[in-house]
Amino acid sequence: MGILQLIIRNDAMKTDPHEIYGWRVFAVACSASFGALLFGMDPGTIGGVLTMPSFKTKYGIENLDKGARANLSSNIVSTLQAGCFAGSLIGSYVADRIGRKPGQLLCAIIALIGCILQAASAGHLVALYFGRFIAGLGTGGASMMAPVYISENSPRAIRGSVTGLYQLFIVVGIMLSYWINYGCLVHLKGDAQWGVALGMQSIPPFLLFFTMIFCNESPRWLAKQDQWEKAKDTLQTLRQLPMDHPYLQEEFNDMATQLEHERLLVGGETFWSLQRKMWTIPGNRKRVLISIGLMICQQMTGTNAIRL
């Protein structure tokens, strides 16, 4: 609590009860962030694997001319990004339909299968492509669900900071991938070099699945499904406060008010009608274009190409 007060300075931190900043909030956030660990590990891992002589020999890359080699390498890299794109689009529906926790468990299983397929591809490009696309589906879905799940479980005073753990795990994953590649190059020979490097990517989805089993469902999602008693029980466990505590009463009432407001705004709208409003209403369209523009500018810096 003392460290948090030094780092985070806002009114809520001064007035909210210190019990709500227990280990459970950070354990839940770290568990969900294991999906970010995989998201960070893949670019660093595949970038190093593509330069390994044993990988080039196994997949026939060394026999290609410069242009064909560049095309093949870019295809291998971008297949996972295609999976991430599809996974992030599907992830929103899955998270709303079955829940944040089951959704992330499903993403972990999918990503784990994809990582195993990559490591076991044994020179078959189709298997490598398929494995990377499958891993991308899980990674993209988890990338969409995890920040939402973390924010819905975190107290208001530290919500932004705790959600930032997701980004921290991404850069930690990048760092780990470089050391894994280095260790494989120095200590392993032959196909084990790239096989072990690719296989190590299966650790984050395994950790995501294993730790998420012990985590709670999002109290906000439970309330959205009209499971109010379960939402109350989950909040009590997370905040370590009795339900009659003023803080917990306020948080629960605020959540109920927000959900009711959302229902009034959405009404009987379908997914596609909401999408239409997002693009046809000038204010909504402006916000969407700003968000897309920022991401395009970030990618145009070439940071991912440099990292690979």
Q: How many CA atoms lie within 13 A of 186 on its CB side?
A: 6
Q: Identify which of 265, 204, 249, 263 has the alpha carbon closest to the alpha carbon of residue 35.
A: 204
In a domain, 246, yes or no: no
In a domain, 93, yes or no: yes
In a domain, 27, yes or no: yes
In a domain, 269, yes or no: no
- Asked if the model's pLDDT at residue 227 lies above 90, the reply is yes
Q: What is the pLDDT of residues 81-97, one digit of tens each?
A: 899 989 998 998 899 99
Q: What is the pLDDT of residues 164-186, one digit of tens each?
A: 899 899 999 999 999 999 999 99
For residue 44, the domain's CATH number is 1.20.1250.20
- Asked if the model's pLDDT at residue 114 lies above 60, the reply is yes
Question: In the chain, where do the E strands start and end?
Answer: none
Query: Rounded to an integer, what is the distance from CA 148 to the centroid of its chain?
Result: 10
pLDDT > 90 in the chain, percent: 53
In a domain, 279, yes or no: no
In a domain, 32, yes or no: yes
Tell me what the mean pLDDT of segment 52-57 comes to.
91
Q: What is the pLDDT of residues 292-301, one digit of tens each?
A: 898 888 778 7
The CA angle 293-295-296, to the nearest 5 degrees, is 65
In a domain, 132, yes or no: yes
What pTM value is reported for the model?
0.87
Total of domains in the chain:
1
In a domain, 250, yes or no: no
Helix 23-32, helix 165-187: angle, nearest 10: 50
pLDDT at 120: 93
State which residues form the domain around 102.
Answer: 2-215
pLDDT tier, 2 (very low <50, low <70, confident <90, very high otherwise): low
pLDDT tier, 306 (very low <50, low <70, confident <90, very high otherwise): low
